[in-house]
Amino acid sequence: MRKFKLQVQTTIDGFMAGPNGEMDWMTFAWSDDLSAHVGALTDPVDTIVLGRKLAEGFIPHWAAQPEHETQESIDFMNKTPRVVISRTLTESPWDNAVVATDAAATIRDLKAREGGDIIAYGGSELVSGLIADGLFDELNLFVNPTAIGAGLPVFAATGTNQPYTLESATRFGCGVVGLRYVPVAS
């Protein structure tokens, strides 16, 4: 079965964005070791899952082929099929993206299909709901060396105690720490 992975940037106090979606706290000058780690994480991925709010900025950002990104990253983000979870869109306004309304059912269906891994990047509401539903096979949290005090949390709606096992912790040259967790089997 395919793995469903979360890859998310967080603050040390557990936020994936500021109160209004701000992401200016992120460490943008990634070190080569972090870039290589993320490359290995995404190599087996053939589907990207995004919430609508994130997709509205994410997809156009990558379509514009930003100068500060590698061509390999640009190609991955633009050529990998994307599923946008939305309660308001009925069809995708973007190339290489489909819209789905039921996050949990969509993820279960994707996981049951043949193929490579699936990765979710956010946003906060989508991610916390998928965590609450116990759908992730691994959480890859990239903790940036800053605290913002308030914002959009990664773990807003878990609702229950959800134990995880730390599989790895890596400090990267740029100061970001990568934490890889897997759910404890019940």
Residue 139 placed within a domain: yes
> pTM (2 decimals)?
0.94
Total structural domains within the chain: 1
Asked if residues 84 and 99 have their Cβ atoms less than 8 Å apart, the reply is yes
pLDDT band at 37, cuts 50/70/90? very high
Q: What is the pLDDT of residue 129?
A: 92
Residue 183 placed within a domain: no
At 126, which helix (H) or strand (E)?
Answer: helix 124-132
Q: What are phi and psi of 47, to 5 degrees?
A: -150, 135
pLDDT higher than 80, residue 134 = yes
Residue 170 placed within a domain: no
Residue in the structure block whose two tokens are 């994130």: 54
Residue 72 placed within a domain: yes
pLDDT higher than 70, residue 186 = no
pLDDT higher than 70, residue 33 = yes
Range of the domain at 121: 4-16+45-160
Q: What is the pLDDT of residue 161?
A: 83
Query: Where does residue 148 rank: exposed (0-12), middle (13-18), buried (19+ CB within 10 A)?
Result: middle
Residue 172 placed within a domain: no
Query: Which two three-digit tokens encode residue 117?
Result: 């891994």
Q: What is the pLDDT of residue 100?
A: 97
Mean pLDDT for 98-123 is 96
pLDDT higher than 90, residue 28 = no
Report the CATH number at residue 67. 3.40.430.10
